[in-house]
Amino acid sequence: MRKLILRSTHCAGDTVMLTAAIRDLHACYPNQFMTDVRTMHPELWENNPHLTPLREDKGTVEVIDCECPLIDLANQRPHHYLEGFIDFLNKRLGIHVELTAFKGDLHLSFAEKANLPGVGDMKRNDDTFWILVAGGKRDFTIKWWDAHRYQEVVDHFRGRIQFVQIGAEGAYHPRIDGAIDLRGKTSLRQLIQLVYHSQGVLCPVTFVMHLAAAVEMKYNHPRNRPCVVVAGGREPPHWEAYPHHQFIHTVGALRCCERGGCWRYRTVALGDGEFYDRAEFLCVDVVNGLPRCMDMVSAEDVIRRIEMYFQGGALAYSAALQSA
């Protein structure tokens, strides 16, 4: 067998894409490769059946630093983010791996599936909640939507949907009233566990939308987890969106994203000395403190997309909340 150690210093969302590449490498070339990884987020690989512990100092082991050059062609070619590392490995190894599933490849233990994580105010028998991400990292402020509009959405569904707000400590995640507050309280593994037990996800373009697709549903109906993504015009939808998500984008509606995503970083400069403050990385059309593409998305737009899952019959509102 060919022995590979795949290394990556990319973020968590990129690593979910790498899990798909390793899954499909073994699916397309069974019993021909042994694989191990070195990434920034080892929690994403727990319980993964495709990994074998390998040592870098062994001469028979190939160490590959993984990249995703396909992203540079995202506005020109009809590829999804999931194909990025697959394309890289195909060219690097001289093989022909094909994408076998429209999602990453994450695995939970029996114990993780049996119970909700014991964090914050989560009730162990409540599994009809939606996960809410109402902010994001400070390097990509262009992805942020208006906290007041997130509040409007949560207020609209009071008594029907319980939202659980998550977010990394140190990032921008304004408190949304009415949501169970788990900001800064979950480990990465607990977040994956929460996604498994959740009914749906509301978020911007972020790591959690990829978890929403990659983590299996607790029940068989619906087979895919509902997810509403406030996307705007930064990324081309074919690169980021999953077929069963409601991906609210404005690509093609504005001059700054008429040919695809703008791929900018920040709405306005923060003055923190980061290279993201350079003019070529800043939004060129700011309205009401938001990129115009995000300002064009109303709370009513998001409410409508969430309601579609219930009106179409994929989901039912929580009987416990309605009777409370």
Q: What is the CATH number of domain 116-323?
A: 3.40.50.2000
What per-residue confidence (pLDDT) applies to 123? 67
Per-residue DSSP letter, 216: P
| Predicted confidence (pLDDT) per residue in 201-214, tens digit | 999 999 999 999 99
Query: Which one, of 129, 181, 135, 154, lies nearest residue 299 by Cα?
Result: 154
3-class state of residue 36 by DSSP = strand
**pTM of the predicted model as reported, rounded to 2 decimal places:** 0.95
What per-residue confidence (pLDDT) applies to 57? 84
Instruction: Please give the average per-residue pLDDT across 166-181, as a whole number.
Output: 95
Task: Give the other-Cβ count within 10 Å of 309's Cβ.
Answer: 20
Instruction: Please give the average per-residue pLDDT across 284-307, as a whole number.
Output: 97
Q: Are 171 and 136 in contact (CB under 8 A)?
A: yes
Residues in the chain: 324
pLDDT bracket for residue 221 (50, 70, 90): confident
Residue 156: is its pLDDT beyond 90? yes
Residue 219: is its pLDDT beyond 90? no
Strand pairing class (286-287; 290-291): antiparallel
Q: Which residues neighbour 273 within 8 Å (Cβ) at sequence distance 6 or greater?
A: none
Helices (H), 116-269: 147-156, 188-197, 207-214, 237-240
Helix orientation angle between 188-197 and 207-214, rounded to the nearest 10 degrees: 50
Instruction: Please give the average per-residue pLDDT across 152-162, as a whole number.
Output: 96
Residue 75: is its pLDDT beyond 60? yes
Query: DSSP string spanning 263-296?
Result: ---BSS---SS-GGGSGGGB-S-EETTEEHHHHT
| Predicted confidence (pLDDT) per residue in 269-279, tens digit | 999 999 999 99
Joined tokens for residue 173: 């995640």
Residue 59: is its pLDDT beyond 90? no
Joined tokens for residue 300: 């009513």
Helix orientation angle between 147-156 and 299-311, rounded to the nearest 10 degrees: 30
